[in-house]
Amino acid sequence: MISSRLPLTRDLVLVGGGHTHALVLRMWGMKPLPGVRLTLINPGPTAPYSGMLPGFVAGHYEREALDIDLVQLARFAGARLVLGAAEAIDPLTKTITVPGRAEIAYDVASIDVGITSAIPALAGFADHAVPAKPLGAFAAAWEAFLGSDGPARVAVIGGGVAGVELVLAMAHALRRHGRFQQATLIDSHRALSALGAVSQARLRAALFDHGVTLMEEAPIAEVHAGGLTLADGREVASDFTVGAAGARAYGWLAESGLDHHHGALLVSPRLQTSNPYVFACGDCAHMGFAPRPKAGVYAVRQAPVLYHNLKALLSGGALKDYQPQKDYLKLISMGGTSALADRNGRSFSGPLLWRWKDHIDQKFMRKFAALPVMAPPPLPRHRAEGMVEALGDKPMCGGCGSKVGRTSLRQGIRSYSGARRADVTPLPGDDAAQLLTGGAMQVISTDHLRTFTEDPVTMTRITAQHALNDIWAMGATPQAATVTLILPKQSPTLQERLLAEIMETAHQEMKSAGAAIVGGHTSLGEELTIGFTLTGLCERAPVTLGGARAGDHLLLTKPIGSGTVMAAEMSGQARGRWVAKALDLMCQSQRRAAEVLGPAAHAMTDVTGFGLLGHLQGICEASGLGAELRFDAIPKMRGAPELAEVGVRSSIFADNAALLPGIGTAGARALLFDPQTSGGLLAAVAPDQSEILLNRLRSQGYRAAEIGVMTGAGEGIVIR
């Protein structure tokens, strides 16, 4: 049988989610190059668009309007998204360093990490000022400051176009909030020198109209908590100081061994650096063949050339040259809904130009907000009956969302009755047992997950914690682990790279849990699947699903909703921030939670594929009791309730809900049946211990909650 998936043979790594790379990802999603494994490395799940930053600062746009959602974009492009900040590239070994994980290898790389406007040489800047770039950190700081109370004084360092736009926007926003007291723009030379005389005059008039004090030829000696001290001894009061003076490349670029110009990577007309397998674009690149100021227009127009050249280098084609325009239209925000246009010495201003600028910016952002839906290939005209029903109406989820439903699983297990041994005791559930080996008491468990994120390191971390949770839930200490991998068809080089990332991560996760990896097994298949079989040692009898007592309080150590969030991510409905937070929670170890709950729990389980109610039902059945839950007390992942309200459901949701047909599944209550991957621990504890245990859990960093109580036999499960 021939695989429907073509093997991967080359690694293309994009470092940074800047404007050029964002456009390249969109183009790649429309027309990818078969055989290429595409990776995007970025510190966070979103990338802010610089063109709309002044509008956000002024209050014309909501914060989220600035962001290109890289999670959705990576899904569309078929790329794996690595959430982390690159801190080194080695062109000799062709590797990129991201802290906390194995080195990422590439065949071809491109760098688009932007710049920083931090001023490290200025005393006090790092402690008392905010650089305007990177934009994401600045936007968050401004949003927090604007939301505070009282009269406000602000100062902007740097009298270029960016500094003028920011100070006008800040003054406008503070006046709208009734907080304006003082705004100052400071430049060590003459402000707005890059513009023509007419544009300069109009912007200086706008500064005056907004009450902004302009201080030119005014070098700064120090930034402090209350403002700034100028070199001539004058003091400028400021509660919020911003650095917008010039643009500086990140230091690790100059340390790469690649040719650079004042830290920015020097590129040829083909956008290649001094190493032909490394490209650079946007503000972190310097076009030595045609020097230009840092401006987003060049980054945007580099995208088609970069897209073509990356594909050409990976497939043996001919590369193209990029020819930057000599000048470009500058649309400059003027605080309110007015803008200035400047090009070739001509200048215009007014509300009409603001509407034009807003139209251009919104059009650019719509490219990423409404990604084309790529239709799946049609089914064969002649096919066996039942194929449509078997496929279902949504893509198959990964993680625990791809498991067999509980009804089918139970029936399959019950249909097999293996020979019993006196030293082997199956535990309540379907994947664990107690073993007696000499005088030692062990437990054994196994878990395997179909991948739902293209980043193998994140997937390995989640799978490891998911498997370890079974051991923690039984009150045991992890001992030994074997790894089972199904790898997608790839070239030997890419297989070696993938194995290195997975095994280094697995070793780190198991070592931190106290377990040793003793071996494993690999095979090839359609997609990546990771599994662990674990043993653990018990100092006392394992904690099981049985043993809960009427009146026990139910404690949950982690929010629910991962199945819903990840199902929405597959369909492009989840916001990147929600997905990133869900992945972080799934990577969270339950080790310390088990140390808190293990000695006190009468019954305990980890919440996984059968959902919160399915696993609670397991405790009720094994303990012969009922339960009452308070829905509002159950912690939920960010975005999960909103997604559940609009009908997002994971693959096995219907199977889970069928186990308790009397409980409603409308709206957010559907989360009760949502399959969890690497979910929290659910423990039944004595009422007088509940608050003590809950406080200890929260002190260890868990979003733990007391969500209900065990009730008498025959009372069933009730949701309040």
48, exposed or middle or buried, with CB in 10 Å at 0-12, 13-18, 19+?
Answer: buried
Q: Which residues contact 323 (CB under 8 A, 6 or more apart)?
A: 269, 290
- What does the alpha-carbon distance between residue 208 and residue 213 come to, in Å, rounded to a whole number? 7
**Helix residue spans in 46-196 (DSSP H):** 53-58, 70-77, 125-128, 135-146, 161-176
Q: Is 350 exposed, middle or buried (0-12, 13-18, 19+ CB in 10 A)?
A: middle
Q: Which amino acid is at 342?
A: D
Strands 440-450 and 529-538 turn out to be antiparallel
**Which H, E and C letters describe 243-312, residue by residue?**
ECCCCECCHHHHCCCCCEECCEEEECCCCECCCCCEEECHHHEEECCCCCCCCHHHHHHHHHHHHHHHHH
Are 26 and 76 in contact, with CB atoms under 8 Å apart? yes
Tokens, residue 403: 């498991």
**Chain centroid, CA 311 distance in Å:** 27
* Beta bridge partner(s), residue 490: 8
Note whether 125 and 119 are within 8 A (CB).
yes
Closest residue by Cα to residue 321 from 290, 278, 285: 290
Q: What are the phi and psi torsion angles at 543 (to 5°)?
A: -75, 130
Q: How many CB atoms lie within 10 A of CB 448?
A: 17
- Cα separation values, 141 from 41, 69, 227, 487, 583, Å: 24, 20, 16, 43, 25
Give yes or no: 400 in active site: yes
Which two structure tokens, joined as six digits, stand for 80?
A: 């794996």
**CB atoms closer than 10 angstroms to residue 177:** 14
Residues in a beta bridge with 628 = 709, 718
The residues, ordered by sequence, that sit 6+ positions from 168 with a Cβ below 8 Å of its Cβ are: 54, 58, 206, 207, 210, 212, 333, 334, 335
Give the Cα separation of 401 and 409 in Å (integer).
14
Cα distance between residue 101 and residue 720, in whole Å: 44
Extract the tokens encoding 620. 């009720």
Cα distance between residue 239 and residue 399, in whole Å: 48
Contact (CB, 8 A) for 281 and 272? no
Q: Is 669 helix (H, G, I), strand (E, B) or coil?
A: helix
Contacts of 373 (CB under 8 A, 6+ apart): none
Residue whose tokens read 């359609």: 526
Calculated CA dihedral for residues 621, 627, 633, 635, nearest 10 degrees: 0
CA angle 490, 374, 106 (to 5 degrees): 30
Q: What is the DSSP-derived secondary structure letter of residue 52?
A: G
Map residue 98 onto helix, strand or coil.
coil
- Name the catalytic one among 281, 284, 397, 400: 400
DSSP assignment of 308-340, as one string? HHHHHHHHT---------S---EEEE-SSS-EE
Q: Which residues are catalytic?
A: 400
